[in-house]
Amino acid sequence: MSNNGKRVAWITGGGSGIGEAGAESLAADGWTVVVSGRRKEALDAVVAKVNGSGGKAEAIALDVSKAADVNKAAEQILAKHGRIDLLVNSAGINVPKRSWADMELEGWDRLVEINLNGVLYCMRAVLPAMRAQQDGCIINVASWAGRHVSKMPGPAYTTTKHAVLALTHSFNMDECANGLRACCLSPGEVATPILKLRPVVPSEQEQAKMLQPEDLGRTIAFVASMPPRVCMNEILISPTWNRGFLQTPGSRD
């Protein structure tokens, strides 16, 4: 998966959390990383951190729910680097009003636009280049909620993450013939900024027991390091102290 040793990764949701950690781990492994997200200042901070550590990173501000903008971003990467070897779909949101009692259609629509449509838009945007290369890897960051239904994440989040899992497997069914592979990475609780959107924000002590962003960064780099003959179809990963197993109120996002 290289061109004279050059490997190019595009990471959405790259301004914080899992996306940021993925960018750092991939850059440490020698990848050229392009981080995308809605907040330019956050992206610039990630780029400065990666480049300051001897890596190679750049940023493209992007809202993944806008298909035309997604296509332009992919074209920009290809124009500069000539290839996209890895796509990490890490952009995702949830909303505070997430139960059947208080959910709003506006919130539902926004989750579908970003958590599901945005994933599809990015996959489609890199597909022609990856097919031409006959090589490419996609990592879709879903959630424990994409495998196990529970009340806390809410119907919209749970539904979109289940859909991402199905989307990933369907991609492998069709594109394995072209040398392409996708992994659905489904983490349990991770101590990222999205936790602030929960109706009840976990305490610092609780967050310390959760998966940390760097744990997922290392996992992303591991999947990306596998040879082209290997497809890591799905990874389900959780904290050892799994509040879902412990039946602790307010668990899982």
Q: What is the pLDDT of residues 183-227, one digit of tens each?
A: 999 999 999 988 887 888 999 999 999 999 999 999 999 999 999
pLDDT bracket for residue 1 (50, 70, 90): very low
At 244, the pLDDT band (50, 70, 90 cuts) reads confident
- Among residues 157, 161, 188, 192, which one is catalytic? 157
pLDDT at 3 over 80: no
Does 28 score more than 50 pLDDT? Answer: yes
How high is the pLDDT of residue 5? Answer: 78
pLDDT for 193 equals: 83
Q: How far is 115 from 105, CA to CA, in rounded Å?
A: 15
What are the Cα distances from residue 2, in Å, to 76, 158, 228?
19, 36, 10
Instruction: Report residue 56: phi and psi, to 5°.
Output: -125, 115
Q: How confident is the model at residue 178 (pLDDT cuts 50, 70, 90)?
A: very high
Read off the pLDDT band of 2 (50, 70, 90).
very low
The predicted structure's pLDDT at residue 129: 98
| Residue 140 contacts residue 168 (beta carbons within 8 Å) | yes
Average pLDDT over residues 45-72: 98
Mean pLDDT of the residues in the chain: 95
Q: How far apart are CA 142 and CA 253, in angstroms?
A: 10
Q: How far is CA 128 from CA 122, 124, 135, 183, in A?
A: 11, 8, 11, 19
Which helix or strand (DSSP H or E) is residue 89 part of?
A: strand 86-89
What value does the mean pLDDT take over residues 77-105? 96
Please check the confidence at residue 91 and state whether its pLDDT lies above 50. yes
**Torsion sign over Cα 11, 15, 19, 25:** positive
Chain center to CA of 211: 15
What are the strands of the beta sheet with 180-187, ordered from one edge? 56-61, 32-37, 8-12, 86-89, 136-141, 180-187, 234-237
Contact status, residue 151 vs residue 250, Cβ threshold 8 Å: no
Which residues, 6+ apart, have CB-to-CB distance to 73 below 8 Å?
Answer: 10, 36, 60, 62, 125
List of residues 6+ apart from 25 with CB closer than 8 A: 214, 217, 218, 220, 221
The fraction of the chain above a pLDDT of 90, given in percent, is 89
Fold of 8-246: Rossmann fold (3.40.50)
d(C-alpha 172, C-alpha 180), whole Å: 7
Residue 2 neighbours by CB distance under 10 Å: 11
User: What are the pLDDT digits (tens) for 139-152?
Assistant: 999 999 999 999 99
CB burial of 194-217 (b: ≥16 within 10 Å; e: otherwise) equals: bbeebeeebeeebbeebbbbebbb
Q: What is the mean pLDDT of residues 45-65?
A: 98
Q: Are 158 and 94 in contact (CB under 8 A)?
A: no
Is 60's pLDDT higher than 90?
Answer: yes
pTM comes to 0.94
Q: Which of 153, 133, 26 shows the shortest CA–CA distance to 88?
A: 26
For residue 43, pLDDT beyond 50: yes
Please indicate whether residue 157 is annotated as part of the active site: yes
At residue 26 the predicted structure's pLDDT band, cuts being 50, 70 and 90, is: very high
Over 80: is that where the pLDDT of 247 sits? no
| Domain residue spans of the chain | 8-246
